[in-house]
Structure 1
């Protein structure tokens, strides 16, 4: 029996993964101009993780996990959040929020290549087309003189690439690791441990902490929105959609988030959108589409059929 769905709830959930997740680049950019990167990201995820586990407890979910699962959530939290997210927030000190979102949209390309190198997975024709387009899009994006000339921009690009590697390897790790079965409990522990590692690392590299009372109103609001909406609401919406619609439809957030980030960065922070960035976005996101799609090229299918007939 199919699970009954609420059209209004589905629309709101898509709004969450499209607009809210797309806006996190802007919110992080605003906050990191005033706060240290790892303190900012660490505090965000520790608070969000605690709130998620409280919600899980209220829902009467079993939140106790074994030591192996706890150790694996630490590893996942480090790969996804401590390094994967914390380094991106750090990179936002050097590059525009829209640029960062566009570069990160190439994540499926990187995961595909990691699967090929580390797991020996064969790359299908559609994905090969996507990889080629992805590399062209990335080249068009990072080769712009207007961006390269900005102080620290090359460092920012490199930091984002390292974060993408960490996130990509984390995706492969969690696919086989023994983790808490419930997604809410699993996420709560990953946020709690990943954020905790960032808070431990923050003073080691000399970050100076400040009281939330001393933050500007814009930063206070950004942090609140990141915790409640970016971490909790959007993630809950994401998992809800995975249960009621096809994964391909949920994956469309990969294409929408960078566009939302570009528009918000341009409107609120006066970030420049060049013609080359627009072309790079179209090429790159087309490549991501080819990587994500499960459909086959019609001509390739016919060609394969002819070969089979001739054997």
Structure 2
């Protein structure tokens, strides 16, 4: 019975990081049309963090953590949420949701390069193919005329690249950091501290703040969806899956999120899906597949034929 329960939780968690995270591009795009980006992200994460602490109180989970764990959650909160997510929300003012999601689909490429730089992990042949395809895909994506001619779109996509680096380094950091063992507590502290830092971002950029009673009903509903589903459920699911299944299985969300974001942006916001975007998506996602695969190419087997074998060092 316990195994069946865990299987159901894993399935639901994958649904969260596939569909819910894929939809957050649309939700953020809608909200950022009325609210300043850093204020939007700050309210979202602080509220989500506080709600998680309330949930912990009701279910009897202690939120007490060590000083070292607090410091590590602050660092993770900055890398994942304050910079890694907050700046993406800012960039959505200038970049279509589908294009932003497609660029972020190259995240495994960034992680691979960071692992080479900081951990000395060698890049296998399959991953090299993936890196090449990823670079080609990104070029096809950003070289489109409608992007080049759109004001600040290139700046937005460059800033998203820096967000990917921040998120990638955060992924390496949490793999070794001393963090709260409970998934909800870990998420709550990252959300709350990340949101507090986003308040600093907002004040530094002199963003005008407003109360929810001043927001349109559309933005209020969007914010509620972002807080409950995008933050609490999806991010907790992400932390849960990182400890329940292999990292490359969690990384499969990279294939699904851009497709969800593209379709939702096209359907609800009338965003254009060009042939070049479709080609870029195919090349990018193929590159991500090569990076995530556990197989290593060998040019010749002892029988003189091309073969492949499992290689656990690929990631």
Report if TM-score (shorter chain) is over 0.5: yes
Corresponding residue of 1:107: 107
1:304 and 1:174 map into 2 onto residues whose CA distance is: 44
1:302 aligns with 2:301: yes
Structure 1 alignment gaps of length 5 or more? 307-311
2:176 and 2:96 map into 1 onto residues whose CA distance is: 35
Corresponding residue of 2:66: 66
Superposed, 1:1-311 pairs within 5 Å as 3-5=3-5, 11-239=11-239, 241=241, 247-297=247-297, 299-300=298-299, 302=301
1:124 and 1:291 map into 2 onto residues whose CA distance is: 9
- Give the Å deviation of 1:168: 1.4
- Give the Å deviation of 1:184: 1.7
1:215 and 1:257 map into 2 onto residues whose CA distance is: 28
Q: Which moved more, 1:13-22 or 1:131-140?
A: 13-22
Ranges of 4+ aligned residues in structure 1 off by more than 6 Å? 303-306
Contact 1:241–1:250 (CA<8 Å) still a contact in 2?
A: yes
1:304 and 1:159 map into 2 onto residues whose CA distance is: 49
CA RMSD, aligned part only? 2.3
Aligned length: 305
Tell me, what secondary structure is at the counterpart of 1:254?
Answer: helix
Residues 260-284 of structure 1: CA deviation (Å, up to 9, x unaligned): 0000001101111110000000110
1:127 and 1:22, CA in 2 relative to 1: closer, same or farther beyond 3 A?
A: same
1:232 and 1:111 map into 2 onto residues whose CA distance is: 24
Q: TM-score, normalised by structure 1?
A: 0.91
1:300 and 1:179 map into 2 onto residues whose CA distance is: 43
1:78 and 1:243 map into 2 onto residues whose CA distance is: 21
- Give the Å deviation of 1:54: 2.0
Contact 2:41–2:89 (CA<8 Å) still a contact in 1?
A: yes
2:300 and 2:7 map into 1 onto residues whose CA distance is: 36
1:100 and 1:303 map into 2 onto residues whose CA distance is: 45
Corresponding residue of 2:313: none
Residues 237-273 of structure 1: CA deviation (Å, up to 9, x unaligned): 4455556665544432110000000000011011111
